[in-house]
Structure 1
Amino acid sequence: MMRMRELTSVKEKNNELEVRPGGMLVQKRDPDEALNRIPPPTIRVRVKYGSIYQEMIINSTATFGELKKMLSGPTGLHHEDQKIIYKDKERASKTFLDVVGVKDRSKMVLLDDPVSREKRYVEARRNAKIAKAAKAVSDIGLEVDRLAGQVSALELVISKGGKVADETMSNLIELLMNQLLKLDEIKVDGPYGDVNQQKKLQVEKVQKFVETLDVLKIKNTKRNRVNNGVTTAPNRHQSGRSVEKFAPIAAASQQREVSSKNTSRGVVVTTQWETFDSLPTIIQAPPSTSTSTSITGETKQHNFNWDLLLK
Structure 2
Amino acid sequence: MMKLKPKRFGIRFGLGKSRSRSNNSDGRKAQQKGFGGNSNISETKWEIRPGGMLVQRRQESAGEDLISIRVSTFARSHLLSVDATSTFGELKMVLSPLTGLEPKEQRLLFRGREREECEHLHMVGVGDRDKVFLLQPPPLVPLAPTPVLS
Output the amino acid matched with 2:110. Y
> Any unmatched runs of 5+ in structure 2?
1-34, 37-42, 44-56, 139-150
CA distance in structure 2 between the partners assigned to 1:82 and 1:69 by the alignment: 10
Q: Which has the larger radius of gyration?
A: 1
CA distance in structure 2 between the partners assigned to 1:69 and 1:102 by the alignment: 17
TM-score (norm: length of structure 1): 0.25
Which of 70, 91, 101 pairs up with 1:77?
A: 101
CA distance in structure 2 between the partners assigned to 1:72 and 1:64 by the alignment: 12
Alignment of 1:131-142 (within 5 A): none
Q: What is the SS of the residue equivalent to 1:38?
A: coil
The more displaced of 105-114 and 66-75 is 105-114
Q: Does 1:49 align with 2:73?
A: yes
Runs of 4+ in 1 over 4 A off after TM superposition: none
TM-score (norm: length of structure 2): 0.50
Q: What is the SS of the residue equivalent to 2:122?
A: coil
Alignment of 1:157-168 (within 5 A): none
Q: Does 1:109 align with 2:133?
A: yes
The aligned counterpart of 1:87 is: 111
Q: What is the SS of the residue equivalent to 1:71?
A: helix
The aligned counterpart of 1:66 is: 90
Alignment of 1:236-255 (within 5 A): none
Count of aligned residue pairs for this structure pair:
84
Alignment of 1:20-59 (within 5 A): 37-39=60-62, 41-59=65-83
Q: CA deviation at 1:37?
A: 3.3
Q: Deviations over 1:128-171 (max 9, x none)?
A: xxxxxxxxxxxxxxxxxxxxxxxxxxxxxxxxxxxxxxxxxxxx
Superposition RMSD on alpha carbons, in Å?
Answer: 2.6
Which structure is richer in relative contact order (CA contacts within 8 A, separation 6 or more)?
2
Q: Deviations over 1:102-153 (max 9, x none)?
A: 0011001101246xxxxxxxxxxxxxxxxxxxxxxxxxxxxxxxxxxxxxxx
Between Structure 1 and Structure 2, the one with more strand by share is 2
In percent, how many aligned pairs have the same letter? 35
Q: CA deviation at 1:74?
A: 1.0
CA distance in structure 2 between the partners assigned to 1:94 and 1:85 by the alignment: 14
Q: What is the SS of the residue equivalent to 2:123?
A: coil
Q: What is the SS of the residue equivalent to 2:104?
A: helix
Output the amino acid matched with 2:84. S
